[in-house]
A and B are shown apart, each in its own frame.
Chain A
Amino acid sequence: MILLLVILLSPFVAAALTPLVARVLGTRTGWWAAAVALGNTLALLSLLPDILHGTTLTYTLPWIPVLDANLTLMVDGLSLFFALLISFAGCLIMAYGRFYLDPREEHGKFFAYMLLFMGSMLGVVLTGNLIALFVFWELTSLSSFLLIGFWDHREASRYGATQALLVTGGGGMAMLIGFILLHQVTGSWDMQSVLSQGDIIRASPLYLPILGLVFLGCMTKSAQTPFHFWLPNAMEAPTPVSAYLHSATMVKAGLYLVARLHPALSGTEAWVYLVGGVGILTLCVGGFLALAQDDLKALLAYSTVSQLGLIMALYGLGTREGVVAGSFHLMNHAAFKAALFLCVGNVEHETGTRRLSQLGGLWRAMPWTGVFTLVSAAAMAGLPPFGGFVSKELFYAATLDVTGGAERVLLPVLAVAGSAFTFAYSLRLVYGVFFGEPGHPPKHPHEAPLGMLWSPFILAALNPFLGLWPAPADHFLLEPMASGILRQNVHVHLALWHGFGAPLLMSVIAIAAGLILYPAWLGIQRWQGDVFSRFSLEGTYKGSLQVLSRSGRDVSLWLQSGFLRQYLLWILSFLSLVVLSTFIWNRVSLIPVEARSVLSYEGILLILTVVTTIAVVFAPRPLPAVILLGGVGFLVGILFILLYAPDLALTQILIETVSLVLFLLVIYRLPPFIPEQASRGRLLRDGLLATVVGGAVSAVVLATAGQGYFPSIAEFFLRESVPGGGGRNVVNVILIDFRGYDTLGEVTVLAIALLGVFTLLSRKDTR
């Protein structure tokens, strides 16, 4: 199915073309992006018949076959649902964005990023290869970074962008390690193969690390407590971005992966406690925090956190009912939350504020936006006759199904509590904005333009549709999706009315509790700070960044202090440590090869060299120091004679003379030695180090010089010098013939030194 590849790649190609398109279309570029998304939606719909037959469509584009990292596309009910959601929501939101964005803003850049995101997100849900999935997963983080920071002149935007990138990126790294471990267990990067090895994975000792690490990635991406803090900060993005990435699609990537890996990882207690537990906790924490927000987008962000927690909890139950309920709620959430974001976008656009404290009584000014908000909020609150009611009932039923100890009681209670919060903040949203006392917004409110009403209308209209007539969604989307997750045929029968029973009772309790909670929101606001910091890692995030950058400064100032001697101290101590410790460790023999004994004049010469060398240290002024250095050089030259190296001696003495002249020329212009002012302790330390360095070098000489495990290749030079090289002086023949490259290099070094000196001296204080 090459169509799959076209579907995946078209947003990327379109994104690349968008800057060009924007030159022609200008502020109408949004239509172009929406058209691409619409095309994708239609193409995806054409796959539906195959999927309904239970086929899994695949297509493989080899990318890096040697690493098994291929663009393997795999479409089943789960993938198709997500892909449709991404394309369809993308189409509506980009059409909306065309009106939302100010004509003076960079439409080309905005929609290029949006399309880039759309492609990446499609990649996440369409690929059946773990490496490729990870690649797209990170690309969504990257495009989210670019989009959150779209208004880059705002400090808060930049902060939110970086935070989202680092938190999801960090989770991503954990997930990558999890994937690699998964690969170690299954021997495959291919999703189909991994999914079919669930039993092997669960039996592996690596199961818990894999589950934990992969789930960490899902938690950060889907803003689960305690990583939920990045999502409210991401609300600095333009509202279409919030609606698209941060409520409808990207934050569901974690849910997608949990659903996708269901057959491989679920079915253990660890799964239930981890995934279910985190989900339920997120549901309550998010709901609680949402109720107390003043900023409408923050309210929606926390509400998204809470709803994602709900879906996560349902998937975490690990039961068929849980999967069905979770999947259906995912659909509902996409519909009502995207609509709510767009409605809030309208309110912000027309009134100039998102603060509940400045809003109120907009019902008359913005009736359409009001109706759409009301419908969507009712769906969110779980009221009939909307889809949200149906999924909430399924949720209650699923929690009642759980067998076990404490969680049998705890789960339904927490479910009701979470829903009570949902009801309360939904009520607050609708009442606070559209009813009650008129507020004092910066702009005089009136209804949004038609272009900004279509998209929320379509999205809001889905809610009663899903509630009153769930059969199409059930048959065409939910059943294939649940079948895809569980990898077996699932039949679902959804209905608005389930009869009187425990779930309905729980609904009633939740609504009643919500009605009581609603007036309490002011009180909650007062102590939210405490609770907030307890459940969120934002403090840890900020703290660790701070600690890192502060300690980074300290550590690098300590290491890179600017004092050359400190660097050399490190280097010399480490080198001595290497030599001495390995000599001791390997018990290297230090017995030297003594080919001959020392003649008396040799001994005197050596002692003289040693004395002169040490005397350099005590030279009070540059001149004696340099002369003593020259002395050492000449002594070494004489030593060379004794070592039967006449050429060396000659060269050494020649070079030493030139060096001495050069030194003398320069010290003539240099100041006298500054007093060392080194403490006694430092002198002692340096002296000790010098001794150790000297000892280490001596040890190397003793252990190696003339040890000759093998005969030297020098025999050859001695033999061939006259016949082959045509010279009696073997050293010379080696230099110009046998090892001519060395000599070439040596001359080159001299030439470079000359060039360097020339450069230094001719650069008279210019740039």
Chain B
Amino acid sequence: MKALVVLPVLIPLATAIVTIFLGRSLRGKILVSLVGGGATFASALLILRSVWSWGTVVHVMGSWSPPFGIILVADLLSSGMVVLSSGVALVTLCYSVGYVDEEGQRLTYHPLFHLLMMGIYGAFLTGDIFNLFVFFEILLISSYALVAFAGEDYQLEASLKYATINMIASAVFLLAVGGLYGVMGTLNMADLSLKIGGLQEPGPLPTIFLLFIAVFGVKASLFPFYFWLPDAHSSAPTPISAILSGVLIKVGAYSILRVSSVIFVPLRPGAQEWILALAAVTMVVGAYGALAQSDVKRLLAYSSVGQMGYIILGIGIGTPLAWVSTLLFIVNHALSKAMLFLTAGVVIEATGTREMGSMGGLARQMPWTAGAFLIGAMGIAGVPPLLGFFAKFLLIQAALEAGHGFLAALAAGLAIVSLWYLFAAWQQIFWREGSGHALHPAPRLMKGSGLVLAGVIVVGTIFLNPLVNFLRAVEAQLRQPEAYVTAVFREAPPVTASTVEPK
């Protein structure tokens, strides 16, 4: 049962290796890749089920119990994130089969895709702060390669800038890990939690906490670290854009949530104002940027920046309601933005352009795609009755209840701005006289993938109650770092028990 937790890391790795060694057999690669994606999703569901029934599951790597060996920890948050991302990944994988050119699929697309996902799942699951760094690097370098996958000039440029910024972030990550280790002498998150809890003088720890937030903020595209995102997310091959925007940036939000709910619990109030300020500026910058775009993918990328602002704002407000809203935002954005990118890809494939000004009148030829895009736009703009509305609503409520009237007003005002640019985009693409050019119909696999996600959003809206219930359970678990620690040390009663007291 515990070995289950390692599957989301091992299956993608195995799939990647097999697809590398399958040589040039396209069908074989696709088959293995899809089976691998499906198996990962299935294993994620199994993990979530067992976590839900029996509580946090800890997998000890090798025979070395924590805090010495590396462990994978599946609690509700991490297993939920794995389910969400592996689901989106599976749909995106199907889409990729229709989207990516045959040469690319023969080449390295499938292994890179699975290795990217391996890094993402590993980052969600690991219970060790340095191991998190390693998984970050896995997901980063595979995403650099995937952004540049088709080798176009602008993709190389985007990848270069993306990689440069993130390499600096990696150095800062090491700086923060080094600082943390120098002070605390351990790397295991649960152990760190235990020890920081007993500390009187925080010393340099507040700074280290903020450095971690900054590092994760680079992944989560917080201001002033977001500059790589509009380039990378818009330049990548469309299914990769969907993964980057839908899943990968959530790793940043997840990590902020993780370190602030497990490791740096007592230091959270001190970081709050930084987080709130950065989140607020991010919201504004994202909305502003999206307003100015005529390229549909770039518009969606900027909108992701703004949405990450909302997500981090919820983390910063920090009340239970705010965290539930953050989690709901994460779910909504993962589904809606991935779907929007996939749908935009269908439209781009049909018209041969990314400029919305050159599209138009597509609602008649592509009513389903128009509907899916509208659902996505509603979801991101927070139009009722979809998930996105409730995320926004809960966030505003949480902000008001916590006395952040200005932030509530800002969130509400920017929601109208996003309503504007998303609906204007929808109008430009799907309304108006058509351009009259002949359309190249996109493969069915591509169209279908977007519709599947749209369907999931609708179903999620209908079953909002169980979803919100689940998210509340996730939130409640995040409030109990002691339970996390206990679960981790359940196997081996902490050898550190004697060393919990500061020297």
In the complex they form, whether A and B have CB atoms below 8 Å apart is answered with yes
In contact, B207 and A578 (Cβ under 8 angstroms): yes
Cβ contacts under 8 Å, A758 to chain B: 107-108
Task: Report the minimum CB–CB distance from B164 to chain A (whole Å).
Answer: 6
Residue of B nearest to A745 (CB): B134
Given A176-B412, A710-B185, A713-B68: A742 and B499 within 8 A (CB)?
Answer: no
In contact, A152 and B291 (Cβ under 8 angstroms): no
Task: Report the minimum CB–CB distance from A642 to chain B (whole Å).
Answer: 18
CA distance A153 to B427 in the complex (A): 10
In contact, A713 and B227 (Cβ under 8 angstroms): no
Cβ contacts under 8 Å, A579 to chain B: 207, 210-211
Query: Is B289's CB within 8 Å of the partner chain A?
Result: yes
Interface locus among B84-92, B341-349, B390-398, B446-454: B390-398
Cβ contacts under 8 Å, B491 to chain A: none
In contact, B469 and A66 (Cβ under 8 angstroms): yes
Query: Is B172's CB within 8 Å of the partner chain A?
Result: yes
In contact, A706 and B182 (Cβ under 8 angstroms): yes
Query: Is A760's CB within 8 Å of the partner chain B?
Result: yes
Given A564-B164, A745-B122, A760-B148: A713 and B204 within 8 A (CB)?
Answer: no
In contact, A756 and B112 (Cβ under 8 angstroms): yes
Interface locus among A452-460, A531-539, A549-557: A549-557
Task: Report the minimum CB–CB distance from B207 to chain A (whole Å).
Answer: 4
Residue of A nearest to B464 (CB): A64
Chain A, range 749-767, C-beta contacts under 8 Å to B: 749, 751-753, 755-756, 758-760, 762-763, 765-767
Q: How many residues of chain A have a CB within 8 Å of chain B?
A: 101
CA distance A767 to B138 in the complex (A): 25
In contact, A567 and B165 (Cβ under 8 angstroms): yes
Given A560-B227, A740-B62, A759-B112: A712 and B186 within 8 A (CB)?
Answer: yes
B151, B384, B415: the one within 8 Å of A766 (CB)? B151
B386-420 vs A, CB cutoff 8 Å, 1 = contact: the mask equals: 00011001101100110000001100110111011
Task: Report the minimum CB–CB distance from B48 to chain A (whole Å).
Answer: 19
Interface locus among A130-138, A327-335, A510-518: A130-138
Query: Is B199's CB within 8 Å of the partner chain A?
Result: yes
In contact, B69 and A739 (Cβ under 8 angstroms): yes
In contact, B61 and A740 (Cβ under 8 angstroms): yes
Interface locus among A166-174, A258-266, A305-313: A166-174
B130, B383, B413, B424: the one within 8 Å of A138 (CB)? B383
Query: Is A36's CB within 8 Å of the partner chain B?
Result: no
Cβ contacts under 8 Å, A746 to chain B: 134
In contact, B292 and A704 (Cβ under 8 angstroms): no
Residue of B nearest to A741 (CB): B70
Cβ contacts under 8 Å, B128 to chain A: 739, 741
CA distance A666 to B201 in the complex (A): 50
Chief secondary structure at chain A's binding surface: helix
Given A553-B292, A706-B182: A162 and B424 within 8 A (CB)?
Answer: yes
* Most chain A CB neighbours (cut-off 10 Å) among B150, B419, B424, B433: B419
Interface locus among A177-185, A243-251, A356-364, A469-477: A177-185
Residue of A nearest to B218 (CB): A571
CA distance A142 to B142 in the complex (A): 41
Task: Report the minimum CB–CB distance from B467 to chain A (whole Å).
Answer: 9
In contact, A173 and B207 (Cβ under 8 angstroms): no
In contact, B186 and A710 (Cβ under 8 angstroms): yes
Cβ contacts under 8 Å, B469 to chain A: 66
Task: Report the minimum CB–CB distance from B327 to chain A (whole Å).
Answer: 13
B105-132 vs A, CB cutoff 8 Å, 1 = contact: the mask equals: 0011001100100100010001010110
CA distance A586 to B3 in the complex (A): 44
* Most chain A CB neighbours (cut-off 10 Å) among B172, B292, B472: B292
Given A586-B207, A710-B499, A742-B70: A152 and B427 within 8 A (CB)?
Answer: yes
Task: Report the minimum CB–CB distance from B480 to chain A (whole Å).
Answer: 19
Query: Is B21's CB within 8 Å of the partner chain A?
Result: no
Query: Is B178's CB within 8 Å of the partner chain A?
Result: yes
B122-159 vs A, CB cutoff 8 Å, 1 = contact: the mask equals: 10001010110011011001101100111110000000
* Most chain B CB neighbours (cut-off 10 Å) among A181, A582, A703, A710: A710
In contact, B289 and A556 (Cβ under 8 angstroms): yes
Query: Is A165's CB within 8 Å of the partner chain B?
Result: yes
Cβ contacts under 8 Å, B408 to chain A: 177
User: Which residues of A does B touch, CB under 8 Å?
Assistant: 62-67, 69, 131, 134-136, 138-139, 142, 145, 149, 152-153, 158, 161-162, 165-166, 169-170, 173-174, 176-177, 180-181, 183-184, 545, 548-549, 551-553, 555-557, 559-560, 564, 567-568, 570-572, 574-575, 578-579, 582-583, 586, 588-589, 697, 700-701, 703-714, 716-717, 720, 724, 737-742, 745-746, 748-749, 751-753, 755-756, 758-760, 762-763, 765-767
User: Which residues of B does A touch, CB under 8 Å?
Assistant: 13, 20, 61-64, 67-70, 101, 103, 107-108, 111-112, 115, 118, 122, 126, 128, 130-131, 134-135, 137-138, 141-142, 144-145, 148-152, 160-161, 164-165, 168, 172, 175, 178-188, 191, 195, 199, 202-204, 206-208, 210-211, 214, 218, 224-225, 227-228, 230-231, 274, 285, 287-292, 302, 361, 363, 378, 383-385, 389-390, 393-394, 396-397, 400-401, 408-409, 412-413, 415-417, 419-420, 423-424, 427, 431-433, 464-465, 468-469, 472, 495-496, 499-500, 502-503
CB-CB nearest 8 A-B residue pairs = A756-B145, A552-B291, A745-B134, A712-B185, A763-B151, A152-B431, A704-B182, A567-B227
A-B contact pairs, 5 of them (CB 8 A): A64-B465, A176-B412, A700-B204, A713-B496, A739-B69
